[in-house]
Structure 1
Amino acid sequence: MLNTEARQQLQKVLPLDMVATKSWLEAQGLNLHFLDNAVRNQTLIPLAAGVYSRQEARLSWKGIVASLQRMSDAPIHVGGLTALELEGLGHYLSKGSKPRVQLYSDAALPKWLDRIKIPAQIEWHGTRRLWPETLMQDDKYLRQDTWQASLPPLRYSCPEKAILELLAAMPKTISFEHADQLMQGLHNLSPRKLDALLKACCSIKAKRLFLWLAGRHQHAWLKHLKPDCYELGTGKRLIAKGGRLEPTWQITVPKEM
């Protein structure tokens, strides 16, 4: 039999539809003997060695990522195209049977994430060359998805941050054409947030691509930005192989664009 007080503590720290590691559960005050008993009587279901969910949990990528965010000492957020999709700005959903989920952190991918079955394709992006540590810890550039009432929300980038994250990975994970379509729909970005993020962003490529695409669509917020205040580096940047040189921002782009 499981101790009633410990069982109630387990239900509190590990809500249904979330996951937790053994080490994290121990850190919440649940002893190893109790956890072993909970596994034996199937109160806890092992997803992999040292990773558990509660019996009858309905696992989703949002629940797994929200769990990861809750357990991690380092900031982790959903960003890039996934964040734009959460805002209804994705233009079209990711193709394939599993959604692609972009996660951003300056920490390494937790090993347990590779050991469990996730109903999504997780794409891990390091942020040390993209965002300074202070910005990664700043919640004003994050939004929350209440994926289930009463459970910890999923944290994801605001659109202004997400588009820069997406452009930093071009053209490896997204095409010029798709990025152009996404930018076309970004009518309502905050110029104040954009200004702060362009000043903070460490990726020269992302900033130059952003300013080039913004110029193509001439959104109302563009006139409030101050390119002279953003560190844009020097020299030409080869981004599209076999493309043409865009003279203003000194980047190679596809000839047809």
Structure 2
Amino acid sequence: MADREGRLLINGLLRAVSHEQPLDLAALRGHGISPALAAHYARTEWLERLGTGVYCVAGARLDRDQCLLFLQGRIEGLHVGGRTALAWQGVRQYLEVQERLTMWATSRGVLPAWFTERFPGTLTSMSLFDEATVAHGIVTPPAVTDGLKVSSRERALLELLRQVRTRLELQESRELFFSTQGLRPTVAGELLTGCTSVKAVRLFLMWAAEAGN
């Protein structure tokens, strides 16, 4: 490919895409850039190779939400859940010095290194709910980037309780539960019925009764 044509393609890409988002090979092909040409642009420092078949604009500062939207298309059922979902909806005990994301997925998946190096977090790959309710309670809360999947407060509490292992985690979860206002009985009831974790259901019902819900 002539140098002039190569420059035209990369300049067109830089004008057309957000510099805050990852780009996979399909996105690059949409701008006329083949895998071989993408590798060339990485060698010449127009693009940065993040991982196998994933690039970004060289020197770009990736946006957390744009990266999450990208990963939603690659990991089935990926959503922000548990403690992070509660914090994004105003339920938290303290402000973290550096946010540590809690994510869930309904299929086996691994967060890529390029993501966790920038946005530390954990991914739980399992279905906490039966087939009828596996997608219930996943929403995009107000003030969250459009299209980003986040657990509702009711679902996030069950995810949080499923992961309780120590006495300290139990106490922290209890404090978060009693700090959560406006739980919806209908939504909670559907999720409790479909939840496959006996521990999470038992703790939720016990504390809900204590709170008079």
TM-score range, shorter chain: 0.7 to 0.9
Aligned to 1:154, which of 148, 158, 168? 148
The residue aligned with 2:98 is 98
- For residues 124-174 of structure 1, the C-alpha deviation after alignment (integer angstroms, 9 at most, x for no partner) is 11223x123454445x532257666xxx64321111110111000012596
Aligned to 1:142, which of 139, 159, 167? 139
Aligned residue pairs: how many? 208
Q: Tell me how large the CA RMSD over aligned residues is.
A: 3.0
Q: Aligned equivalents of 2:135 and 2:12: distance in 1?
A: 32
Contact 2:158 2:201 in 1 (8 A): yes
Instruction: Give the CA deviation at 1:49.
Output: 4.6
Describe the shift of the 1:106–1:37 C-alpha distance in structure 2 as closer, same or farther (beyond 3 A).
same
So what's the TM-score if we normalise by structure 2? 0.80
- For residues 43-62 of structure 1, the C-alpha deviation after alignment (integer angstroms, 9 at most, x for no partner) is 32123454311134212433
Describe the shift of the 1:116–1:41 C-alpha distance in structure 2 as closer, same or farther (beyond 3 A).
same
Q: Aligned equivalents of 1:173 and 1:66: distance in 2?
A: 35
- For residues 4-61 of structure 1, the C-alpha deviation after alignment (integer angstroms, 9 at most, x for no partner) is 467646765x532111344x44675742233233323433212345431113421243
Aligned to 1:46, which of 19, 44, 49? 49
Q: Aligned equivalents of 2:141 and 2:48: distance in 1?
A: 28
- For residues 39-87 of structure 1, the C-alpha deviation after alignment (integer angstroms, 9 at most, x for no partner) is 2343321234543111342124333222211x32612100000000111
The residue aligned with 1:20 is 23
Q: Aligned equivalents of 2:131 and 2:29: distance in 1?
A: 26
| Matched-pair identity in % | 23
Describe the shift of the 1:133–1:8 C-alpha distance in structure 2 as closer, same or farther (beyond 3 A).
farther
So what's the TM-score if we normalise by structure 1? 0.68
The residue aligned with 2:76 is 74
Contact 2:132 2:194 in 1 (8 A): no
The residue aligned with 1:58 is 61
Instruction: Give the CA deviation at 1:103.
Output: 1.1
Q: RCO higher in 1 or 2 (8 Å CA, sep ≥ 6)?
A: 2
Higher helix proportion (structure 1 or 2): 2
